[in-house]
């Protein structure tokens, strides 16, 4: 059984769980590349939960490296209602740490990104800067679309990639940051999910606290700025 501390919301139709960095939501081929090593995820989160909750279905996913709120349907009724709504009125809020200081305290990144079977399609990321440090910024982002690696690609496109992102980031800066803070994975956390309950219609807000390592890095950054 999953630790009770990781259960963020539970009712007759839904279950929200805190996903850890380095977990898969469902079985797949996604891996985290760390230097020359590829680290495979342990048992996917859905498979682990199914041991105790038969019939559970994932309503959305987070990337392997991303932590935070993941929502599952306990019932067919809830699952089909969400799919039929096409996630209307869902609001996904993320927290991350990016390279440098952004030119504006808030803004929208609108750039085309590839989508399976559709070619390049519009993608929109709203952001606001929560804190600025000497060479980095703590940022909150809302994705209005759900493209693959959207936040990572969008911030990289405006020359403020996620710190420690080995795929889209700055290798030299990543190396310095890793040496100083002893971290090797980028910080991207699904901090809040807002949606209408698929069965009752009531507004539902589910929040996940920052991982301890993310909090620790922010504390160190605040002490030296």
CA distances from 148 to 68, 69, 133, 156 (A): 17, 17, 28, 14
Q: How do the residues of the chain divide into helix, strand and coil, expressed in percent and rounded to 5?
A: 25, 35, 45
Q: Which of 47, 63, 120, 165 is catalytic?
A: 63
Nearest partner of 57 among 43, 41, 71, judged by Cα: 71
Among this protein's residues, is 63 annotated catalytic?
A: yes
Query: Quick one: residue 47, left, alpha or beta (phi over 0 = left, psi -120 to 50 = alpha)?
Result: alpha
- Tokens of residue 224, six digits: 């030296």
- Annotated active-site positions, please? 63
């Amino acid at each position: 059984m999953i630790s009770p501390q990781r259960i963020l919301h539970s009712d007759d139709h839904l279950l929200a769980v805190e996903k850890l960095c380095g977990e898969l939501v469902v079985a797949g081929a996604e891996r985290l590349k760390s230097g020359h090593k590829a680290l495979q995820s342990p048992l996917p989160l859905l498979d682990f939960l199914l041991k105790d909750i038969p019939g559970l279905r994932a309503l959305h996913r987070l990337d392997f490296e991303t932590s935070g709120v993941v929502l599952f349907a306990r019932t067919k009724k809830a699952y089909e209602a969400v799919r039929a709504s096409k996630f209307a009125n869902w609001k996904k809020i993320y927290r991350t740490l990016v390279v440098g200081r952004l030119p504006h305290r808030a803004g929208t990144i609108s750039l085309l990104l590839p989508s399976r079977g559709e070619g390049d399609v519009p993608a929109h990321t709203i952001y606001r800067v929560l804190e600025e440090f000497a060479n980095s910024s703590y940022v909150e982002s809302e994705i209005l679309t759900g493209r693959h690696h959207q936040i990572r690609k969008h911030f990289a496109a405006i020359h403020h990639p996620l710190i420690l992102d080995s795929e889209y980031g700055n290798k030299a800066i990543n190396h310095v940051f890793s040496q100083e803070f002893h971290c090797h994975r980028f910080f991207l956390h699904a901090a809040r999910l807002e949606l209408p309950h698929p069965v009752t219609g009531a507004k539902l807000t589910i929040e996940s606290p920052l991982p301890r390592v993310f909090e620790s890095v922010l504390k160190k950054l605040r002490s030296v700025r």
